[in-house]
């Protein structure tokens, strides 16, 4: 008979309402008295690590899910596998024996009424230059509690300059899960701080770049004008049709103005050109007496 054991550990931050943690904000200073700055915002996403062990007749799959910056969004079809709101770390055991599937959930870290997350971010490196490979930081997430036992997650972030900031972040490495403590080692270029006086790299997320799907101020202006014009002409046409039973060109709101507009523009341009030419002819030279 085949058995499957699903072991899922999810580490995230607070809930979607509370948002990302301060240490994941762009420009975070790991040392308040020194102007080194970090940008861990690229780590604000779901990371999944799986380990499958097949032993007859059973199969054991270990899946790690982690977002060190913000809350993971629980799937709508597996609500029974999720802890109460505020959970930032979890373990889910799913035992499969034939057709029976029984999930068992265990919180690792979180922010609850009687148990706080209390994230701890500190510098581990003794080196003064935090922009170099090997610079390390410790991130501890607390708050997990079950059956009067406390749980936590300890993440070590290490700078790796060999990685490309414009690519997706490297996956973390699960070191151990012992004594109710999940230990993670994470080598990433995003743990390399910007030196004092240097601009933080955009990490491929330049807000002015059109690749991020944003719209410039000029684009917003013309879009607004286009929408207002459409509302004006369509609304005016409907009004003229309903009230005056208009047809054809009579549907255009303020029809006479729009029909005369090209001639008004032509006369305005001619007047401006004539004024400029008259000014040039009248300037300079001698005045007859």
85 and 172 assigned to the same domain: yes
One domain, residues 134 and 239: no
| E-state strands within 24-167 | 47-55, 58-66, 87-97, 100-110, 120-123, 136-146, 149-159
Between 113 and 60, name the one with better pLDDT.
113
Residue 137 contacts residue 121 (beta carbons within 8 Å): yes
Helices of type H across 138-248 = 217-244
Phi, psi dihedrals of residue 238, rounded to the nearest 5°: -65, -40
Report the pLDDT value the prediction gives residue 197, as an integer from 0 to 100: 85
Confidence at residue 82, expressed as pLDDT on a 0 to 100 scale:
63
**Residues of the chain above pLDDT 90, percent:** 25
Tell me if 209 is assigned to some domain: no
Residue 257 within a domain: yes
Bridge partners for 151 per DSSP: 144
C-alpha span between 253 and 235 (Å, rounded) = 9
Structure token pair of residue 140: 């501890």
Please report whether residue 190 resides in a domain. yes
In a domain, 285, yes or no: no
Q: Which segment of 172-181, 183-192, 204-213, 247-256 scores lowest on mean pLDDT?
A: 204-213
| Whole-number pLDDT of residue 211 | 39
Residues 233 and 105 in one domain: no
Same-domain pairing of 153 and 63 = yes
Kindly state whether residues 192 and 246 are assigned to the same domain.
Answer: no
The whole-chain average pLDDT of the chain stands at 78
Q: Against a cut of 0.85, is the pTM above it?
A: no
pLDDT above 90: residue 161: yes
Q: Count CB neighbours of 271 within 10 A.
A: 10
Q: Report the Cα–Cα distance between both ends of the chain, in Å, rounded.
A: 121
Residue 18: CB atoms within 10 A of its CB come to: 13
CATH at residue 51: 2.70.130.10
CA distances (Å), 114 to each of 9, 28, 140, 221, 254, in order? 22, 29, 18, 51, 68
Residues 26 and 162 in one domain: yes
Binning pLDDT at 50, 70 and 90, where does residue 3 land?
very low
Pair 64, 134 in one domain = yes
Bigger pLDDT: 139 or 210?
A: 139
Determine whether 165 is exposed, middle or buried from the number of CB atoms within 10 Å of its CB (0-12, 13-18, 19+). middle
Question: In this structure, are 163 and 221 located in the same domain?
Answer: no
Report how far residue 51's alpha carbon sits from residue 64's, in angstroms, rounded to the nearest whole number: 9
The pLDDT value recorded for residue 46 is 80
pLDDT at residue number 123: 94
Mean pLDDT of 239-254: 87
Q: Please report the pLDDT score of residue 289 as a whole number.
A: 45
Share of the chain above pLDDT 70, in %: 70
Domain annotation covers residue 210: no
Establish if 259 belongs to a structural domain: yes
In a domain, 212, yes or no: no
Does any domain span residue 87? yes
Residues 227 and 129 occupy one common structural domain: no
Last residue of a domain, one of 202, 226, 260: 202
Give the model confidence (pLDDT) of 45-96 as tens digits.
Answer: 888 777 766 666 666 667 777 788 877 776 666 655 566 666 656 666 666 6
Q: Are 268 and 198 found together in one domain? A: no
Domain end: 202, 233, 267, which one? 202
For residue 115, pLDDT beyond 60: yes
DSSP states along 226-274 = HHHHHHHHHHHHHHHHHHH---GGGGSTTHHHHHHHHHHHHHHHHHHHH
Q: Are 202 and 169 in contact (CB under 8 A)?
A: no
In a shared domain, residues 183 and 250? no
pLDDT tens-digit map of 261-276: 899 999 999 989 888 8
Residue 135 confidence (pLDDT) above 90: yes
- What is the C-alpha to C-alpha distance for residues 189 and 165, in angstroms, rounded to an integer? 6
Domain boundaries, position 192: 3-202
Is 248's pLDDT higher than 80? yes
Query: Both 198 and 232 in a single domain?
Result: no
Number of domains in the chain: 2
Contact, 137 vs 119, CB < 8 A? no
- Mean pLDDT to the nearest integer, 246-266: 88
pLDDT on residue 150: 92
């Amino acid at each position: 008979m085949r058995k499957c054991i699903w072991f899922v550990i999810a580490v995230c931050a607070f809930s979607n309402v509370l948002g990302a943690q301060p240490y994941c904000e762009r420009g975070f200073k790991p040392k308040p008295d020194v102007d080194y700055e970090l940008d861990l915002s690229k780590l604000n996403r779901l990371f999944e690590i799986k380990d499958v062990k097949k032993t007859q007749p059973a199969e054991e799959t270990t899946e790690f899910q982690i977002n060190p910056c913000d809350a993971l969004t629980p799937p709508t079809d597996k609500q029974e596998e999720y802890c109460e709101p505020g959970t930032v770390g979890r373990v889910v055991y799913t035992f499969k024996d034939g057709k029976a599937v029984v999930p068992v959930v265990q919180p690792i870290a979180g922010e609850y009424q009687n148990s706080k997350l209390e994230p701890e971010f500190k510098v581990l490196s003794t080196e003064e230059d935090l922009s170099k490979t090997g610079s390390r930081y410790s991130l501890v997430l607390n708050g997990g509690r079950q059956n009067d036992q406390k749980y936590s997650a300890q993440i070590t972030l290490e700078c790796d300059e060999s990685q490309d900031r414009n690519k997706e972040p490297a996956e973390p490495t699960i070191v151990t899960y012992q004594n109710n403590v999940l230990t993670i080692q994470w080598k990433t270029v995003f743990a390399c701080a910007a030196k004092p006086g240097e601009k933080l790299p955009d990490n491929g997320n330049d807000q002015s770049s059109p690749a991020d799907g944003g719209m410039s101020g000029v684009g917003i202006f013309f879009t607004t004008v286009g929408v207002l014009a459409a509302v004006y002409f369509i609304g005016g046409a409907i009004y003229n049709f309903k009230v005056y039973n208009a047809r054809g060109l009579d549907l255009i709101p303020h029809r006479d103005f729009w029909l005369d507009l090209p001639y008004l523009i032509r006369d305005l341009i001619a007047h401006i050109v004539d004024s400029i030419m008259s000014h040039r002819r009248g300037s300079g030279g001698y005045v007859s007496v």
